[in-house]
Structure 1
Amino acid sequence: MPCLYRHVQISLHERRGALRRPSMARITGSHLICKALKLEGVKNIFGLAGDHILPVLDVMADQDFRIIDTRHEQAAVHMADAWSRITEQPGVCMYTTPGFANAIPGLTNAMHTEGPVISIAGCADTHDLGRGAQQEIDQVAMAGPMCKGSFMVHDARRIPEFIARAMRLAFSGRRGPVHLTIPIDVQEQSVEEDEIVLTNPEAYRAKESVLAAPELVRRAIAVLREARKPLVIAGSAAGYTLSGDALQRFIEMTRLPVVTEEQARGLISDDHPYAFGFFERG
């Protein structure tokens, strides 16, 4: 009995100690969305407010985000698309579940213009998914054909991971939009702050253009030398820059005629002696 009594005393002491232990700082999914976007330098949010994204908009309203509330979700995507291509920064747009349906044409256009757009939509609580609650639609499947990636976030702890993944995917290779669905209860979910991993963008995506391998450059030069009537067609990828200096140096060094299309328009003046106007596919 003395041993059992001592064991009970120790157990009670441990429980009291646990109750007195200082609680860890907690953070909500909405705050994590803001933190992850700020790491990427995002300040402007294009969208249309509604129930499915109110938790995160409430947090953003208290911070230094600039929320541009549009009259239609498609317009929000077009604005984010233009912003991303003109500034070389991610264009973020946000809307409700039915609002996401309105955004589809804008996302389709962003895919063709190669704009690094991050589409974020709210939806019903995770335990209500599959019941048709709150105008539920399969956002992830709908976004798939017109986005480089489409994902649903089921746990607030993974919000920074998914936003980082979306950013990297949007800017890598041929650029384009990426969609994230974040349910209301995930936006409101409270988690221990020490469980969260926030990664600097420089650790998971290149901020500057990646140079081609020297061997591939030598092969390209060899092909050019053998060409009889070479013509440079500068496509949208040539416009992944704020300046056309590199393209202009290239054509002036090689003395090759150049035509431009889409995002490359304007990189070189139409008055340049080697510029031959706009190239139209199909």
Structure 2
Amino acid sequence: MIGRNAARDDAAPPGARGRWIAGRALTYAVLLAAVALVLLPIYWMAITSLKLPREIYRVPSLWPQTITFNNYRILFEDKDFVLAIRNSLIVSFAVTLISVFISSLAAYSMVRFRYRFRGLFGRVILFAYLTPTSLLFIPLSILMARLGLGNSLHGLILVYLTFSLPLSTWLLQGYFRSVPRELEEQGMIDGLSRFGALFRIVVPLSAPGIAAVSIFTFTGAWNELLLALVLITSESQRTAPLALNYLITSDVLPWGPLMAGAVVSSLPLMILYFVAQHYMVQGMTAGSVKG
């Protein structure tokens, strides 16, 4: 087979071979440009966090003349950024676990059961997700204050769930539809309950989709700023994006600590996407089989 392909390439006209080489070169050039556009801001953020203040405001350079970790020292010792990272981890993990569990039950019921207004419920869920956050943060802040959940991580988790649950439910419906109903029926014939069929058949077979939904939910909770800015007033309850926002206290931006905070805040998401990239690729396509 290799010999045949080589013979075909040798037998190809010079013009066609030249166009093939030019096409490949253009493809790689476009890919390299795309990679550069993605990596350049990350690289610039990282090297800026290692520069002295006087060097940051000079002519931009691709490498710091003097490498310093003082910006990270300011961030962790003076600004107590570790506490903000801890709060973000608590909120993001709690929102992800609760949202995936509840949305799995909701999506399964909408896919497998037939009841009145099922289609209406699906449209309402989608409408709730599409509603802009800027229209709801004032009513939500009033509601949280009346419930005694203002300025707390519990209240922030509850508010984030109002936005993550609709998206998770909508996405999981597509993944659950791709699981054949006959597998659940066979499992229930063998003695499984409805919940047993869900958690022992549907959920394992939908694992890539559930992983993708979990990553989307975690990322949304980790990066959210507007609701945290409205609901959180205590320094001890600030999340990472909110703590970064409060680093700006005057007209002169502290670019060194800001970039250091951006690097530290980006690391958990980078690690998460790097570890789970295989599940992301599978999950992005899993729900399209019978969606």
TM (normalized to structure 2)? 0.22
Structure 1 or 2: larger helix share? 2
Structure 1 or 2: larger strand share? 1
**Which structure has more RCO (C-alpha within 8 Å, separation ≥ 6)?**
2
